[in-house]
Every structure is written in C-alpha cells, then in structure tokens.
Chains A and B, each alone.
Chain A
Amino acid sequence: MGASPPDDGPRLTPSSDFLTLVRQRERGKLKLYIGSAAGVGKTYRMLGEARELRARDVDVVIGFVETHGREETSAQVGDLEVIPRRTIEYRGVALEEMDPDAIVARDPEVTIVDELAHTNVPGSARAKRWEDVIWLLDHGISVISAVNVQHLESLNDVVASTLGVLVRETIPDWVLGLADQVVNLDISAQDLRQRLIEGKIYAREKVPTALSNFFTPENLTTLRELALREVASSVDRSREEIVRREGGGPAARKTVDRLLVAMSSNPPYTAALLRRASRIAGRLNSDWYCVYVQTPEEAADRIDATVQRKLVENIQLAQTMGAEVMQIPGTDVAAAVLEFARARGVSLILAGQSRRSWWQHVSRGSVVDRLVRNAAGIDVLVVSFTGSGSAP
C-alpha cells in the first residue's frame, strides 16, 4: 500500500445513509476510576456514586460488579438494580460474563462496569470488556468503570521490569484518552497493606502470599507513582469539548491544566497534600490554586484558635510553594469548590481522603464524595494519608 489516494474506499458523505445518522444516539459519557492496585476502593466508590445518581432520579444499573466477597462492597450494592450475567456452559463448566445485550435492551442512562481490562469468555461478541464498554457508549449509555494502573498497555514493560510482574490483561492507552472524567483513588502503601491484612481485599488464606509477592511496599509505591503520572498525563487533554458536550451549548473559554487543592481547616495532612499538588503542578508546568472554603462555623469569631493558627501556616506554605490561595465563603464546601473550579478553568482537583467516621459520613455526608460525584468534566485525585502528617 505504498500510497492510497484519498478517494479510495468507502467514505462518509453528507447524504450517506442519513437515516442511520439520524438514528444514532448521542454517544454515552465515560468516567474512569483509576487505582494503583486492587483494594483501593474503586468498586466501593463506583457503587456509592451509583446510589447517589439514583437518588437524583438518574436511571442507573449495575452492568457488572465483582465484589470479591468484600462485605463493605456487597453492602454498597444494596438494592441497586443488577443486570443478570450471561452464563456460558462449556463441557460441564459454567462461566459467567457481563451481558451487554441485556444492558442495551434495558437501556439505562448510566451503567456501572467493573474491571475494564477483563478478558471476556472466549466466544463472546467482543474479546475484551473495554470493547463492550465502547459498544455501550456507542449505544448512548454512559459508563462508569474502573481499572488498575498496571493494566495500561504503555505501562506493561515498566511494570514487568520494575515489579517483575507480567500483566496479561491490558487496555490500550487511547481508551483512557476517551474518558470524560478520570478519578484517581490514591491510598498509601501502608494503608493498603493494612486493608489486605484485615482481609478486606483477598480471602485470608491468600494474604501472606499477596503481602510478600505483589503487595510489597516497594511495588505499591511504584504503582502509586505510575497512577499519579497517568492522571497528570490525562489532564493534558483539553476540557473544552467536555464543557460543550455537557452543557449542550457553545464551549466556555477555559484555561486547561490548572489544578486546585481543596484545603480543609482541620488539616492533619494538608501540608502533605500541598506538597503533592506542588509536584504535580511542576510536572504539568501549570498554575495551581489552593482553595479554603470558610463555612459559617469557621468564621473568624468562631474558629478555634489552634485551628486558625494551623490554617494560616498552611496558607503561607501554599503561597511559598507557588499556589494562588483563595479563601471563599460558603455553606456547602464541595459546591463552592466546584463553582470556583469551573469559573477558573480548573481541570484537576486534589482532595484529601475523608477521615470521618461512618456516623459522620451518614449524618453530614462527605465533601470528597460530593466533589467526585458532581465534578463532571473535571478530574479528581483523592489522596489518602497515613501516620502523623507525613508526606506520602
């Protein structure tokens, strides 16, 4: 094929099968949760988001979720509608697989599809689950999905050489590029190993092997860094198109590659969060904001003096690191942060993992959860820390 003239082969023309074009629904949106390893909470958060969407009258179903026997995750499924899996019989062995045809027939607005890199049972219409997801998007169904960073094709060699692990199930990088929003769930190696030891990730009999093989501090730290780099790369994408598609109107003028740190007034890990933001901003060569939302309870005449002093220290630290610090009033912290982010063309928000108790989550809700759920068109990096304020 040394050269192919432009008019070779079939081509799209304004009149080509107009009815087909008319019948095409708008393509669905794709939201991706990226994690450094199994157990960081991707499935749990996707399910939480599904529940939140349903509460807002969005028609959402579970296309495929694998709970891996985790109690917390199973509880999150609750009464969400689950599309039954397809069963494939082969010589007396029963295999289960997601049923994309059934999802399309059900025609929800949004579907949850776990484990994007999964290889489908041979004989399925498509070989890989990511291909199923594209097929669902083509049918106008929006998808929330999740993948671990080592499954990205471009990282295969790096993971093999640095971790000594051959990852067989991969997704092409351009699939990540399709995502309208990427959320990176960041968790420290220490926290993740603790979750593993507590039996929250794998069955207890597999824990010792996992701890000594894949879940070593060195491996998890490397994977964490890779995930961070991927998010940094993904925000290279312009958000103008997303804004236009989400809003249905002309694109708002946006400045890309700005990031924002949502700073709390009660900040055991704020300094570490700021260091993380500074590093990412440096890699992206981008401007960054540090935003503190002052709620009525934290007004100058009501805030605890110790907290106030720490807050001032962190504001000064952020300024030293090159952030533009903004203090804005508001009663809903998440809403205020998002309003500011959209007005300033921010494409990535960093927030610290909530350390609230289960009861506080129920009674007051989580600022981070609301940020993630409502940040359409903006990537969110949820950073968790462990220890006493040490940098991750």
Chain B
Amino acid sequence: MSDIDAALLRAIERGVHDLDEVRLPLHILLENQFGDLNDNQVELVGAARDAAETAAARLRRARDLLTLQPAQLRQEPIRPADVLASLVASLQSRGAGRGVRVAADIAAPLPALRGDRIRLQEALSLVGAACLGATPDGGTLSIGAAAGEKDLVVAFEGGAIDPTEIDTTWAARVVQAHGGGFRADGTRAEIRLPR
C-alpha cells in the first residue's frame, strides 16, 4: 500500500469513527432508551441517522476498496444462472415502482465459474442497481448473459451510470480480483468473468 493510500485509509477510518459518534446517540434515542419518541421526533431523528449511516456506508466501502485482497476471496463453484435469476427478480421488483421494465436474455446453459459467490453476487447486484437507477422512469433495462470462449459476459443496457461512483468502483474491483473486467460505455455496462 502506498503512502497516499495509507493516509487515505487512516482518514477513512477516522471518518467512520467520527460518524459513529453521531450515529450512536441517534441510535440510542431511536431505541427508546429514554422513552418513546413521538412520530415527528422519530421522523427527524430517523432521517438524521439514515443520512449518517449512508455516509458511513460510503466510507466503509471506500475502505474495503483500498483493502480488498484477492486472498480474502473464496474459490468456490458458482452457478451464474442462480446469481442472475436472483438479480433479475430483485431488479424487476424494484423497477416496477418506477415503471421500469427489466428484460432478461440469459443464454442457457451458462458455464460454472469459480470465485467468491457472495462478493460476486453483491458486485453484480450493485452494478445492476446502478443501471436500474440510471434507467429513465418507464424505460427498459435489458440484462443479457452469454458465454464466450474464455469468459462469461453479463451486460446491462439501460441508462448511463457513473463508473466512478463508489459502489460501482468496488464492484469493478471485485470483478478484477477474479481476473475479470468491467466496462461502462454510454448506456451499456459490461462485466466479464473468466470461465
């Protein structure tokens, strides 16, 4: 780790700790440690805690991005069809509220992969969620998956995502740690995972 990365890591850890000092009293209030809050108090304190938690989550993601080591990842069999079925169902459910249609074109059979099932599932979900969020209301998010000679390609076509957003960057790093690649180009985001 470079000196700059080490300094960034230290600043992030400090930021997480400082946010804990904000979150903790709010948590105590919402846990009704001093009696029930009324609805307005719950609304205001809850919104403040949510904002602090969102900020803390972004910092933790940045920390994970800096500290991700391939050796931490598991090498286990993964069935992409399972991962994608779960992802598509989730995105369809989330998209329905905004009138976004999620169309899936999953070639069968897809080859089994090896890697860290949980981290890859999370990474794909983060990219999928980012693409869904970027898809205009009433639009269509298309998800395609097909096997090439050397890799499995999962493509999302909907709205243009910001590839520097922290969740997407972390997802890309996870994919790269598996020997794969991530590309965001216009309204298309593509993940390649080695077979």
Q: Do A and B come together as binding partners?
A: yes
Task: Determine if B185 and A173 form an interchain contact, defined as CB atoms under 8 angstroms apart.
Answer: no
Give the shortest distance, in Å, between A48 (CB) and chain B (any CB): 28
Partner of B27, one of A4, A119, A134, A157: A119
Question: Inside 8 A of A21's CB, which chain B residues have their CB?
Answer: 71, 74-75
Apart from A8-B176, A119-B27, A153-B94: 18 A-B pairs, beta carbons within 8 A: A1-B169, A9-B176, A12-B70, A21-B75, A121-B27, A127-B60, A138-B118, A157-B94, A168-B46, A168-B50, A173-B86, A173-B94, A174-B90, A177-B90, A177-B121, A238-B79, A241-B77, A241-B82
Question: Inside 8 A of B83's CB, which chain A residues have their CB?
Answer: 177
Does A236 lie at the interface of the complex (its beta carbon under 8 Å from any beta carbon of B)?
A: yes
Q: Which 5 A-B pairs have the closest CB atoms?
A: A177-B86, A6-B181, A173-B90, A17-B71, A122-B23
Task: Determine if B82 and A237 form an interchain contact, defined as CB atoms under 8 angstroms apart.
Answer: yes
Separation of A241 and B72 alpha carbons in the complex (Å): 23
Does A24 lie at the interface of the complex (its beta carbon under 8 Å from any beta carbon of B)?
A: yes
Does B24 lie at the interface of the complex (its beta carbon under 8 Å from any beta carbon of A)?
A: yes
* Known contacts A1-B172, A174-B90, A233-B89; is-contact A90 B28 (Cβ 8 Å): yes
Give the shortest distance, in Å, between A106 (CB) and chain B (any CB): 23
Question: Inside 8 A of A119's CB, which chain B residues have their CB?
Answer: 27, 53
* Known contacts A178-B118, A236-B85, A236-B86; is-contact A2 B27 (Cβ 8 Å): no
Does A321 lie at the interface of the complex (its beta carbon under 8 Å from any beta carbon of B)?
A: no
Partner of B53, one of A10, A127, A234: A127
Residues 152-187 (chain B) with a chain A CB within 8 angstroms = 163-164, 169, 172-173, 176-185
Question: Inside 8 A of A90's CB, which chain B residues have their CB?
Answer: 24-25, 28
Separation of A16 and B25 alpha carbons in the complex (Å): 44
Task: Determine if A16 and B93 form an interchain contact, defined as CB atoms under 8 angstroms apart.
Answer: no
Give the shortest distance, in Å, between B45 (CB) and chain A (any CB): 11
Task: Determine if A11 and B86 form an interchain contact, defined as CB atoms under 8 angstroms apart.
Answer: no
Partner of A172, one of B69, B75, B93, B122: B122
Partner of A174, one of B25, B33, B122, B192: B122
Residues 294-328 (chain A) with a chain B CB within 8 angstroms = none
* Known contacts A173-B90, A240-B79; is-contact A6 B192 (Cβ 8 Å): yes
Question: Inside 8 A of A11's CB, which chain B residues have their CB?
Answer: 70, 176-179
Give the shortest distance, in Å, between A288 (CB) and chain B (any CB): 19
Give the shortest distance, in Å, between A50 (CB) and chain B (any CB): 24
Task: Determine if B74 and A154 form an interchain contact, defined as CB atoms under 8 angstroms apart.
Answer: no
B contact residues vs A (CB 8 Å cutoff): 19-20, 23-25, 27-28, 31, 33, 46, 49-50, 53, 56-57, 60, 68-77, 79, 81-83, 85-87, 89-91, 93-94, 96-97, 115, 117-118, 121-122, 124-125, 163-164, 169, 172-173, 176-185, 192, 194
Does A279 lie at the interface of the complex (its beta carbon under 8 Å from any beta carbon of B)?
A: no
Task: Determine if A123 and B79 form an interchain contact, defined as CB atoms under 8 angstroms apart.
Answer: no
Q: Can you spell out 5 A-B residue pairs with CB atoms less than 8 angstroms apart?
A: A12-B179, A90-B24, A154-B93, A173-B125, A241-B79
Separation of A237 and B19 alpha carbons in the complex (Å): 38
Separation of A293 and B47 alpha carbons in the complex (Å): 54
Separation of A21 and B75 alpha carbons in the complex (Å): 7
Separation of A234 and B82 alpha carbons in the complex (Å): 10
CB nearest neighbor in A for B50: A168
Question: Inside 8 A of B184's CB, which chain A residues have their CB?
Answer: 1-3
Partner of A161, one of B23, B68, B97, B122: B97
CB nearest neighbor in A for B91: A154
